[in-house]
Structure 1
Amino acid sequence: MTDRTDISRIRYDEGCLAAHALNVVGDRWALLVVRELMLVPRRFQAIRAGLPGITAAVLTQRLGQLTQSGVVTHDRATGLYALTPSGQGLLPVLQAMCRWGALHPGHDPRRFISPTALMISMTAMIDRRAAQGLRTVAGFRSGTDSFLMRLEGDGGATVTTGAEGGEFWLEGDGNALAIAVYGPMPLTGSVASGAIHAQGDLTAAQRFIDLFRLR
């Protein structure tokens, strides 16, 4: 197997597989770039919109490194960046980091949350025991993004892009939706305040979001 890691970027001169993984995706912003591409291919500016703290120069560098490492592909004809199967394989890593991070103090949900970040966190933080046997399709809209989250009865949640098919739809920016999902206010309160918009069966929507906890 060919080692695609750029020797000039090796930071950990060890044979440890974890160190090797960090040599590939351990640079600052790299995993968050992967996060923004996990659910849908995006163009440069759309990736940057999900990472408001990154500069154009750093994003260019990270995309180049991830492409060289075989984690990301770039279609020059469309301008779209997408994850390779190797990049898609990092989803369990991101989910595990969400669960691990929730155990540590200092998390500030008032800081920017991208819609993709919220969707991935929800797949990580679902109460699998409470969700066992449940089947539903929930829709989320945020800006130009539309996601469908499915419960298939096994206790887990999966996310795809899609504009139709949800039993209910919740719409807002990433932070507003995160507050509606994880916060203490009933969904009807979030809707009444104008923080989010909703369509469909709100009772079913409330039962759905009750499955998610940060702790």
Structure 2
Amino acid sequence: MTKPAKEPRIRYDEGCLAAHALNLIGDRWALLVVRELMFAPKRFQMIRAGLPGITASVLTGRMTQLSQAGVIDHDERLGIYTLTEAGRGLLPVLEALCRWALTVPGHDPSRFISPSALMISMGVNLVADRAQGRQALAGFDFGSEAFEMRLTDGRLQTSSVGRPDVPFVLRGNGNTLAAAVYGATPLPALISKGMVDAEGDIAAAESFLSLFRLAPQT
């Protein structure tokens, strides 16, 4: 006989909707686990690779909590975790946190940045007036993960792919590619230093990267 699912742990005994949300996804690491699953299903070790500060036991606990809360599904046969519709609905929450973080001091971009974190960040930091009316396709390859970005009239859509099939692909880790997107060093200089690898139309890549700015968007 299947045991009934445990009720999510109540952290805040309030009728406030924000408190209800935090009862479900307010534990440490929970939203970052969601971040790592936002673009594609993953196995346990791949999720952990995007969260280098977490222990296996803590991650197991968070996955269990998020499953009980209806935020993730776990295919035990394949060992794959995926977001439910409710979990995917947390993307605007992550984006709002990124926007808020731009308004307060202390952000240190030299610390670890996962591929999924950079992809979400780029969606937040697209400069609307620069992107308006533009169309572009871009690829980002992190080795273990790869993504395509499609810009259509100011709207950015990001998809996880096996191999980008686009006019240009930038390769590196989360931090080096974040430097390419937001840093002051031109892309050709980053390529010459070996920080970033590039394939395809470099001029198109530079033009695409110019559409992003790590600053509050007005």
The verdict on a shared fold, with TM-score over 0.5 as the criterion, is yes
**Number of the residue aligned with 2:115:** 115
SS of the equivalent of 1:74 reads strand
Contact 1:5-1:23 within 8 A present in 2 as well: no
Give the Cα–Cα distance (whole angstroms) in 1 for the partners of residues 111 and 164 of structure 2: 30
Partner of residue 22, structure 2: 22
Displacement, 1:5?
8.1
Is 1:159 aligned with 2:158?
yes
Contact 2:147 2:164 in 1 (8 A): no
Residues 27-106 of structure 1 aligned to structure 2 (within 5 Å): 27-106=27-106
Deviation at 1:197, TM superposition (A): 0.2
Give yes or no for contact 1:48–1:59 (8 Å, CA) kept in 2: yes
Q: 1:194 matched to which residue of 2?
A: 194
Q: Distance in 1 between matches of 2:7 and 2:14?
A: 15
Moved over 2 A (4+): 4-7
TM-score under structure 1 normalisation? 0.95
Structure 1: state its 5+ residue gaps: none
Structure 2 length as normaliser, TM-score?
0.94
Q: Aligned residues, how many? A: 210
* Alignment check: 8 A CA contact 1:72 1:87 kept: yes
1:152, 1:5 → 2: CA distance? 44
> Take 1:15 and 1:184, find their aligned partners in 2: how far apart are those partners?
47
CA contact (8 A) 2:147 2:160 kept: yes
1:6 CA displacement: 2.5
Q: Are the structure 2 counterparts of residues 128 and 45 from structure 1 closer, same or farther at C-alpha, using a change threshold of 3 Å? A: same
Write out per-residue CA displacement over residues 58-84 of structure 1, whole angstroms, 9 at most, x where no aligned residue: 100000000011000000111000000
**What is the CA–CA distance in structure 2 between the aligned matches of 1:22 and 1:137, rounded to whole Å?**
37
**C-alpha distance in 2 between matches for 1:126 and 1:156:** 9
What amino acid does structure 2 have at the position aligned with 1:68?
A: Q
Structure 1 counterpart SS, 2:139 = strand
TM superposition shift of 1:187: 0.7
Q: Give, as a single letter, the amino acid of the residue that structure 1 aligns with 2:189.
A: G
| Number of the residue aligned with 2:208 | 208
